[in-house]
Amino acid sequence: MRIGILGTGAVGQTFGTRLHNLDHDVTLGARETGNPRALEWAEAHAARCGTFAEAVADADLVINATAGQHAVNALEMAGGNSALAGKVVLDVSNPLDFSTGELRLSVCNTDSVGEQLQRSFPDARIVKSLNTVNGSVMVEPTLVPGQHTIFVAGNDADAKRAVTVLLGEFGWAAANVLDLGGIEASRGMEMYMPLWVSILRALDGNLAFNINVIQG
């Protein structure tokens, strides 16, 4: 599959490398042409890099791995609604703001990044997933032992199915994928972040953790 990744940070590169190793045709998209991190990654993996727009142009699936605060802007730069029309956009971002020295969400409670993206690009098929675990766990869930849960949310059932197939390639068993419904469920998935950070601290910084939903 042709996959365009928006964002050249740790999460973007983690997706790029994993998807490249899974034989997908990856383009790592950067804000500017000639981004040194993107060039270095592309050279190391004999893969492609380019601008956000180039990453999206011929992609079957787009992954938003930019910071949540900048996600709408990044997808605008990628060509906006017309460039994204019909495409599945997997949004793994969180609106984390550490500028005050402690965690704030730049949007929450009445809105979320997932909803902002779907509202801004109504013809894109936004699917929120994977934002509730660390980047390494996103693409390699076996780093956490046993059964544990990953959420998906989005308005388009086919798009969620396509994402669930991709999750399966990463190692997420279908039985551990919990569909939370429409894109408005992004709100809860993003608002979990402060608890996630507290758990991370309680586990002495071990990023290889997740939660398993259990019912009686």
Instruction: Report how far residue 10's alpha carbon sits from residue 195's, in angstroms, rounded to the nearest whole number.
Output: 22
Q: State the CB neighbour count (10 A cutoff) for residue 202.
A: 10
CB of 121 to a second copy, least distance (A): 23
Cβ closest to a second copy, residue 82 vs residue 109? 109
Cβ closest to a second copy, residue 82 vs residue 215? 215
In angstroms, the Cα distances linking 178 to 97, 152, 181, 184, 213 are: 27, 6, 9, 15, 9
- Residue in 72, 76, 118 with CA at minimum distance from that of residue 95: 72
Instruction: Report how far residue 68's alpha carbon sits from residue 111's, in angstroms, rounded to the nearest whole number.
Output: 12
Cβ closest to a second copy, residue 71 vs residue 185? 185
CB of 18 to a second copy, least distance (A): 17
CB of 109 to a second copy, least distance (A): 5
- Residue in 40, 178, 23, 1 with CA at minimum distance from that of residue 12: 40
CB of 187 to a second copy, least distance (A): 5
Cβ closest to a second copy, residue 31 vs residue 104? 104
Q: Which residues bind a second copy (CB under 8 A)?
A: 104-105, 108-110, 143-146, 148-149, 151, 153, 178-181, 185, 187-189, 191-199, 201-203, 206, 208-216
Alpha-carbon dihedral 88, 55, 16, 147, rounded to 10 degrees: -10
Cβ closest to a second copy, residue 57 vs residue 180? 180
Instruction: Report how far residue 46's alpha carbon sits from residue 156's, in angstroms, rounded to the nearest whole number.
Output: 34
CB of 135 to a second copy, least distance (A): 14
Q: Which residues of 7-26 are buried (b: 16+ CB within 10 A; e: fewer)?
A: bbeebbbbbbbbbbeeebeb
Instruction: Report how far residue 33's alpha carbon sits from residue 25's, in angstroms, rounded to the nearest whole number.
Output: 19
- Give the orientation angle of helix 36-45 with respect to helix 10-21, to 10 degrees: 20
CB of 178 to a second copy, least distance (A): 5
